[in-house]
């Protein structure tokens, strides 16, 4: 135990001595420390470039050394980067090292120092670090200038997805500055009072012109910005391949991939390097490059293609044998010789690739746009191939290509050439059919034929020959030539049997004849028509087999049955065929197609077997019938639509629906309620027979309003629900009244006609004309000495003395106790002389103009004329007294007055007497006891109205007497 303690003490003392020695050695400087450290700046790439040297190293001495480099930011204690740089150092050699800063160098101060250590096996004792060199300060802000705001870095170029640091430098600490990326404000970190930085992560490509970043002072006009160019990542070339076509040049191609988007700011280059020869070439094109084959016939090649730009480098490799990458050039000088109806010889030439190489050539023959033959031929210089099995007068196209027969790499391009075989006579007879009609005792035959196909015609058809042979007279032949491309002709024949031969002709010869027999019978046999249903594939038709000798069948139809030229079609079938499917691109939904099936006898005479009709697809009826209403009564009316055609409808009509609307809404037996599309309710009658085109609507109410509609229906629906027709039933008794009123109207019209014819007689009997004074016989009684012709009163001859009008007050001048009846009003002639005391002769008449009640009076009279003034007369005498006196002395007629004793003047309703020659008046006129009465007209004897024979007195006054007032 004591020995162990002594040994341990000795070991610790030795270790302590070794450490003391080591400390002394380390305290001495190493002889190969870095010296003359210089730092430069590359602002474009934001790099620090260091340069230094190692002294005390012999000129031929080389040492492997390690240099440890420290970089601090803002202050020396803030170390941001430490890196060990190893290199081999020679005597008096300048060493270089670069460092790229993520933060723009203009945004902060940087400090750099380094130390070294020997890392060489030849000097194991020198493996300790030297002392640090002094700090080298880099401050770019001092060289920025005096502008108030700076943004860095300038025009930086980065790849898509990179991280970028942006900063700004402000000369004033008081400014509040905001920075924006494409208009979006960024959040940053302040490095010192004048500097802030912004970290952008995973930047994206926005546009070729770059991404805009700017900073501005919030309360000022200072704004600064930069453009950050973001490039798409350079892709690795794809599909890199090399080949030769002539063993002199290698052509290498590749797919460069997508563009980086910054071709101007960031150009990319492609370099081709061959490792066996050590040659290198810069490619001028983006996707391909040529390489000259070595004259020493190098067969193996190892190429490296490098795509490079400022930010990235990509490479691909390829190794191949030259003889395995041969891509022959296209054959040339392709010719055809010895071309016949069915054969042709094809020749071509290929580019020489040497006597040791054989090419495999492939030939393809095209007919009607598709490959019909393929051939492989081995060729060294010239190629030849015989093409057989061709069709006459047919255009063909042949093409050839070649490839390396020993080591196939690629086919050459195709070389194509066309040729046409020569013509031959038509090989098939035309397909002929006919349409027979009987017109005015003649048989009109329309011949149809289908053009021969190209394979059948064997050339261009020029014309068709038609030979018509009369079977009753074999010597009678008719020859008709129809130029192509016509496909029909019309023949007018007698009612006999004829055999028709049709042939097609081209420039070489004539086709076999197509024979058809036409009998005098047009063949319109009555055959029951059968309905068939079409599908998408067409119409499936079948018929019963015919007994006896038959050579075949023909099915006839029209592709366009609604057109005047229906485009007649037919199909030939063999004698053992009893069914077929008729299809056509012309078939349309909603169109009825009619098919006729004919049998062809051994004598080539066709006869009708069956008729079939149908639709490829039935549609609902397109229109409704035009309905005529008749026999309208109070309880029924009749509907008819006889002109409605069911043949033109888009489906088979199965019947009709009659819709009836009424306000009552009640449906009678035989009908059912139906709800229309507009939710209205009506009664529906169903007619199951499509041939029935008349219907009687009964059980109606008199004087009721109805609406009706008739629409057809089929298996797929009914016709459109259009406008309803309105009708109102008449009154139940209206017909009886009509039977009575019409005869009455007739009788009245007859009576009116008779009355019109006897109008003169009726006028004279019922309402005679007013008498004409000039024609009146009364005028013959009036005699005038001075003017015997004067027979009518003239106003200039009227000299009245006084006119007194006496009438009653209307409204207020009447006592309530007075009777309601109005008194008659009269016109009186009174003498104007005061000395006149004789009896008062007068002529009076009723004045209906002033008092209609006067018509009730039966007579008029006269009163004695007093000697007082006329004004007093009206006051002393009332109308009642005058009326009493007049009634006593009324004279019934003027006929009692002698014609020779007095003269008369005509007086109208106003009763104005007219004076004639006063000297002619009789001196002693007779005194009539009665007055004359005439209600409408009045003849007045002047003698009665005259006062005396003195002649000096004036005409007597005319006084109108009535109750109430008088006027002078």
Model confidence pLDDT, tens digit, residues 596-635: 999 998 888 898 999 999 999 999 998 999 999 999 988 8
pLDDT of residue 506: 93
pLDDT of residue 569: 93
Token digits of residue 291? 């390489």
* Confidence band, pLDDT 50/70/90 cuts, at residue 562: confident
CA distance 735 to 281: 119
Q: Which residue has the higher pLDDT, 445 or 842?
A: 445
> For residues 936-964, b (16+ Cβ closer than 10 Å) or e, as one string?
eebbbbbbbbbbbeeeebebbbbbbbbbe
pLDDT digits (tens, 9 = 90+) for 794-808: 555 555 554 555 544
pLDDT of 230 > 70? The answer is yes
Tell the residue number behind the tokens 């007919």, with chain if given.
Answer: 367
- Identify the three-state secondary structure at position 642: coil
pLDDT of residue 906: 41
Chain-centroid distance of CA 165 in Å reads: 59
**Containing H/E element for 401?**
strand 395-404
Token digits of residue 525? 């046999």
- Ranges 13-22, 69-78, 738-747: which has the least confidence: 13-22
pLDDT of 509 > 80? The answer is yes
> For residues 341-363, b (16+ Cβ closer than 10 Å) or e, as one string?
eeebebebebeebeeebebbbbb
* Confidence band, pLDDT 50/70/90 cuts, at residue 774: low
pLDDT of 61 > 50? The answer is yes
Tell the residue number behind the tokens 């730092």, with chain if given.
Answer: 39
pLDDT of residue 302: 95
Under a CB-based contact definition with an 8 Å cutoff, are residues 184 and 148 in contact?
no
Under a CB-based contact definition with an 8 Å cutoff, are residues 187 and 197 in contact?
no
**Containing H/E element for 610?**
strand 606-615
Token digits of residue 690? 């499509």
Q: What are phi and psi of 899, to 5 degrees?
A: -75, -25
* Confidence band, pLDDT 50/70/90 cuts, at residue 836: very low
pLDDT of residue 250: 92
What's this model's pTM, rounded to 2 decimal places? 0.49
CA distance 754 to 752: 5
* Confidence band, pLDDT 50/70/90 cuts, at residue 873: very low
pLDDT of residue 33: 83
Token digits of residue 829? 């002639």
pLDDT of 55 > 70? The answer is yes
> For the chain, what is the mean pLDDT?
78
pLDDT of 880 > 50? The answer is no
pLDDT of 889 > 90? The answer is no
Chain-centroid distance of CA 141 in Å reads: 71
- The count of other CB atoms within 10 Å of the CB of residue 543 is 18
Q: Which of 18-22, 417-421, 911-915 has the highest mean pLDDT?
A: 417-421
* Confidence band, pLDDT 50/70/90 cuts, at residue 24: very low
- Identify the three-state secondary structure at position 912: coil
pLDDT digits (tens, 9 = 90+) for 259-278: 888 777 778 899 999 999 89
pLDDT of 172 > 90? The answer is no
pLDDT of residue 800: 57
Beta bridge pairs of residue 238 = 255
Under a CB-based contact definition with an 8 Å cutoff, are residues 658 and 684 in contact?
yes
pLDDT of 482 > 90? The answer is yes
Under a CB-based contact definition with an 8 Å cutoff, are residues 340 and 422 in contact?
yes
pLDDT of 26 > 80? The answer is no
If 0-12 CB within 10 Å is exposed, 13-18 middle and 19+ buried, where does residue 321 land? Answer: exposed
pLDDT of 242 > 90? The answer is yes
pLDDT of residue 627: 93
Q: Which residue has the higher pLDDT, 939 or 625?
A: 625
Token digits of residue 160? 């898509």
* Confidence band, pLDDT 50/70/90 cuts, at residue 522: low
| Helix, strand, coil content of the chain in percent (nearest 5) | 10, 40, 50
CA distance 376 to 513: 43
Four-CA torsion 847, 850, 852, 855, nearest 10 degrees: -20
Task: Read off the pLDDT of each residue in 727-742 and give the average, rounded to a whole number.
Answer: 80
Q: What are phi and psi of 571, to 5 degrees?
A: -140, 125
Tell the residue number behind the tokens 């170390």, with chain if given.
Answer: 79
pLDDT of residue 820: 41
pLDDT digits (tens, 9 = 90+) for 35-46: 889 999 988 888
pLDDT digits (tens, 9 = 90+) for 564-598: 888 899 999 999 999 999 999 999 999 999 999 99
pLDDT digits (tens, 9 = 90+) for 344-393: 999 999 987 765 578 999 999 999 889 999 999 999 888 999 999 999 99
| pLDDT-above-70 percentage for the chain | 74
pLDDT of residue 8: 53
Q: According to the 3-state scheme, what is the secondary structure of 409-473?
A: CCCCCCEEEEEECCCCCCCCCCEEEEEEEEECCEEEEEEEEECCCHHHHCCCCCEEEEEEEECCC
Which strands make up the sheet holding 803-805, listed edge to edge?
Answer: 803-805, 957-961, 826-830
Q: Which residue has the higher pLDDT, 240 or 927?
A: 240
Token digits of residue 345? 């010889």
* Confidence band, pLDDT 50/70/90 cuts, at residue 27: very low
Q: At CB < 8 A and 24+ separation, what contacts does 202-207 make? A: 202/161, 202/162, 202/163, 203/158, 203/160, 203/161, 203/162, 203/163, 203/164, 203/228, 203/230, 204/160, 204/161, 204/230, 205/160, 205/230, 205/231, 205/232, 205/261, 206/182, 206/230
pLDDT of residue 520: 67
pLDDT of residue 355: 59
Would you mind telling me the total number of residues written for the chain in this entry?
968
Q: Which residue has the higher pLDDT, 86 or 789?
A: 86
pLDDT of 68 > 90? The answer is yes
Q: Which residue has the higher pLDDT, 920 or 774?
A: 774
Under a CB-based contact definition with an 8 Å cutoff, are residues 207 and 227 in contact?
no
pLDDT digits (tens, 9 = 90+) for 436-468: 888 888 888 999 999 999 889 999 999 999 999
> For residues 11-45, b (16+ Cβ closer than 10 Å) or e, as one string?
eeeeeeeeeeeeeeeeeeebebbbeebebebeeee
Task: Read off the pLDDT of each residue in 949-956 and give the average, rounded to a whole number.
Answer: 36
Token digits of residue 751? 């009576």
pLDDT of residue 451: 93
636: Cβ contacts below 8 Å, ≥ 6 apart:
696, 697, 698, 699, 700
pLDDT of residue 742: 84
């Amino acid at each position: 135990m004591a020995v162990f303690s002594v040994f341990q003490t000795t070991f610790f003392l030795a270790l302590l001595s070794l450490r003391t020695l080591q400390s002394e050695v380390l305290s001495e400087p190493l002889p190969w420390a870095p010296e003359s450290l210089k730092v430069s700046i590359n602002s474009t790439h934001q790099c620090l470039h260091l340069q230094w040297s190692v002294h005390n190293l012999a000129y031929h001495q080389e040492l492997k050394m390690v240099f440890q480099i420290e970089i601090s930011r803002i202050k020396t204690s803030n170390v941001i980067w430490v890196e060990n740089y190893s290199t081999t150092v020679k005597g008096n050699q300048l060493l270089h090292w670069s460092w790229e800063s993520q933060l723009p160098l203009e945004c902060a101060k940087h400090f750099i120092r380094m130390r070294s250590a020997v890392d060489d096996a030849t000097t194991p004792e020198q493996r300790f670090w030297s002392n640090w060199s002094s700090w080298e300060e880099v401050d770019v802000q001092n060289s920025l200038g005096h502008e108030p705001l700076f943004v860095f870095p300038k025009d930086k170029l980065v790849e898509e997805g990179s991280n970028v640091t942006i900063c700004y430098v402000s000369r004033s600490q008081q400014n509040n500055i905001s920075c924006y990326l494409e208009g979006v404000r960024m959040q940053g970190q302040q490095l010192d009072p004048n500097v802030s930085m912004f970290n952008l992560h995973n930047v994206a490509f926005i546009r070729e012109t770059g991404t805009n970043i700017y900073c501005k002072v919030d309360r000022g006009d200072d704004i600064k910005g930069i453009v950050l160019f973001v490039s798409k990542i350079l892709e690795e070339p794809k599909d890199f391949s090399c080949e030769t076509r002539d063993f002199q040049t290698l052509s290498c191609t590749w797919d460069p991939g997508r563009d980086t988007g910054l071709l101007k700011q960031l150009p990319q280059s492609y370099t081709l390097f061959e490792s066996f020869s050590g040659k290198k070439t810069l490619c001028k094109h983006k996707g391909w490059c040529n390489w000259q084959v070595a004259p020493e016939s190098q067969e193996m090649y190892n190429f490296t293609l490098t795509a490079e730009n400022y930010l990235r480098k990509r490479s691909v490799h390829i190794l191949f044998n030259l003889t395995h990458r041969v891509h022959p050039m296209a054959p040339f000088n392709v010719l055809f010789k010895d071309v016949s109806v069915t054969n042709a010889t094809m020749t071509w030439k290929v580019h020489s690739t040497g006597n040791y190489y054989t090419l495999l050539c492939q030939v393809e023959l095209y007919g009607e746009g598709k490959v019909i033959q393929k051939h492989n031929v081995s060729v060294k210089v010239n190629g030849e191939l015989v093409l057989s099995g061709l069709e006459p007068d047919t255009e063909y196209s042949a093409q050839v290509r070649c490839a390396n027969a020993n080591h196939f790499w690629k086919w050459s391009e195709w070389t194509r050439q066309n040729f046409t075989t020569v013509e031959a006579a038509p090989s098939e007879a035309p397909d002929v059919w006919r349409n027979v009609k009987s017109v005015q005792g003649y048989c009109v035959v329309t011949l149809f034929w289908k053009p021969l196909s190209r394979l059948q015609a064997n050339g261009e058809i020029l014309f068709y020959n038609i030979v018509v042979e009369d079977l009753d007279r074999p010597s009678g032949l008719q020859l008709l030539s129809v130029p192509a491309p016509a496909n029909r002709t019309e023949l007018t024949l007698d009612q006999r049997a004829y055999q028709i031969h049709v042939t097609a002709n081209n420039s070489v010869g004539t086709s076999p004849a197509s024979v058809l027999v036409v009998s005098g019978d047009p063949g319109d046999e009555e055959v029951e028509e059968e309905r068939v249903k079409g599908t998408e594939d067409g119409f499936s038709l079948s018929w019963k087999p015919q007994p006896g000798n038959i050579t075949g069948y023909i099915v006839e139809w029209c592709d366009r049955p609604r057109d005047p030229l229906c485009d007649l079609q037919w199909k030939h079938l063999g004698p053992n065929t009893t069914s077929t499917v008729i299809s056509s691109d012309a078939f349309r939904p909603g169109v009825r197609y009619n098919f006729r099936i004919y049998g062809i006898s051994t004598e080539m005479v066709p006869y009708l077997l069956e008729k079939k009709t149908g639709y490829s697809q039935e549609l609902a009826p397109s229109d409704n019938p035009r309905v005529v209403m008749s026999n309208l009564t109070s309880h029924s009316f009749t509907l008819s639509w006889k002109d409605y055609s069911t043949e033109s409808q888009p489906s088979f009509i199965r019947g009709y629906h009659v819709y009836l609307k009424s306000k009552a809404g009640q449906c009678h037996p035989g009908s059912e309620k139906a709800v229309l599309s507009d939710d209205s309710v009506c009664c529906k009658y169903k007619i199951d027979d499509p041939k029935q085109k008349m219907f009687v609507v009964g059980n109606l109410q008199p004087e009721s309003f109805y609406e009706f509609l008739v629409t057809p229906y089929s298996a797929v629906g009914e016709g459109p629900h259009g406008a309803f027709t309105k009708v109102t039933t008449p009154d139940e008794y209206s017909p009886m009244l009509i039977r009575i009123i019409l005869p009455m109207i007739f009788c009245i019209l007859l009576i009116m006609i008779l009355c019109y014819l006897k109008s003169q007689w009726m006028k004279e009997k019922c309402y005679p004309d007013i008498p004409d004074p000039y024609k009146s016989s009364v005028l013959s009684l009036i005699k005038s000495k001075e003017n015997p012709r004067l027979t009518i009163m003239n106003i200039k001859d009227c000299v009245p003395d006084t006119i007194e009008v006496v009438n009653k007050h209307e409204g207020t001048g009447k006592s309530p106790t007075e009777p309601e009846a109005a008194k008659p009003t009269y016109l009186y002639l009174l003498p104007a002389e005061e000395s006149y005391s004789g009896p008062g002769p007068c002529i009076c008449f009723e004045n209906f103009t002033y008092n209609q009640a006067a018509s009730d009076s039966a007579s008029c009279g006269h009163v004695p004329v007093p000697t007082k003034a006329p004004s007093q007369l009206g006051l002393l005498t009332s109308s009642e007294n005058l009326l009493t006196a007049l009634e006593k002395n009324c004279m019934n007629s003027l006929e009692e007055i002698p014609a020779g004793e007095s003269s008369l003047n005509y007086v109208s309703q106003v009763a104005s007497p007219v004076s004639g020659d006063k000297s002619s008046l009789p001196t002693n006129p007779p005194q009539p006891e009665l007055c004359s009465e005439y209600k409408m007209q009045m003849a007045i004897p002047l003698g009665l109205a005259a006062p005396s024979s003195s002649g000096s007195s004036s005409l007597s006054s005319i006084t109108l007497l009535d109750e109430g007032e008088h006027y002078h």
